[in-house]
Amino acid sequence: MNEKSKTSISTGGFSRREFLMASAGAAALITAGTFANIARAKAPHALPPLPYLENALAPVISAETIGFHYGRHHKGYVDNLNRLIEGTPFSDMTLEKIVMETADKPKKDGIFNNAAQVWNHTFYWNSMKPEGGGERPDALKKRIIASFGSMDRCRKELAAAAVTQFASGWAWLVADGDALKIIKTGNAKTPLTSGMKPLLTIDVWEHAYYLDYQNRRTDYVNAVIEKLINWSFAEKNLGL
Nearer to Mn ion, 14 or 205 (CB): 205
d(CA 77, CA 55): 22
Residue 169 C-beta: closest distance to Mn ion, Å: 10
Q: Which amino acid is at 235?
A: E
d(CA 214, CA 217): 8
Residue 53 C-beta: closest distance to Mn ion, Å: 19
d(CA 158, CA 170): 10
Nearer to Mn ion, 124 or 231 (CB): 124
Q: Which amino acid is at 206?
A: E
- Using Cβ positions, the residue closest to Mn ion within the complex turns out to be 203
Residue 114 C-beta: closest distance to Mn ion, Å: 12
Residue 20 C-beta: closest distance to Mn ion, Å: 22
Nearer to Mn ion, 111 or 154 (CB): 111
Nearer to Mn ion, 19 or 68 (CB): 68
d(CA 235, CA 190): 19
Nearer to Mn ion, 50 or 144 (CB): 50
d(CA 36, CA 40): 6
Nearer to Mn ion, 71 or 132 (CB): 71
Q: Give the interface size with Mn ion as a residue count (CB under 5 A).
A: 2
Q: Which of residues 129-158 bind Mn ion (CB under 5 A)?
A: none
SS3 content of the chain, % helix, strand, coil (to 5): 60, 10, 30
Residue 167 C-beta: closest distance to Mn ion, Å: 13
Q: Does 220 bind Mn ion (CB under 5 A)?
A: no
Instruction: Measure the CA angle with vertex 81, ends 76 and 82; round to 5°.
Output: 100
Residue 74 C-beta: closest distance to Mn ion, Å: 7
- Among 120, 126, 121, 128, CA closest to 224: 128
Residue 127 C-beta: closest distance to Mn ion, Å: 12
Nearer to Mn ion, 55 or 187 (CB): 187
Distance of CA 82 to the CA centre of its chain: 19
Q: Which of residues 153-212 bind Mn ion (CB under 5 A)?
A: 203, 205
d(CA 115, CA 91): 11
The contact set with Mn ion (CB under 5 A) reads 203, 205
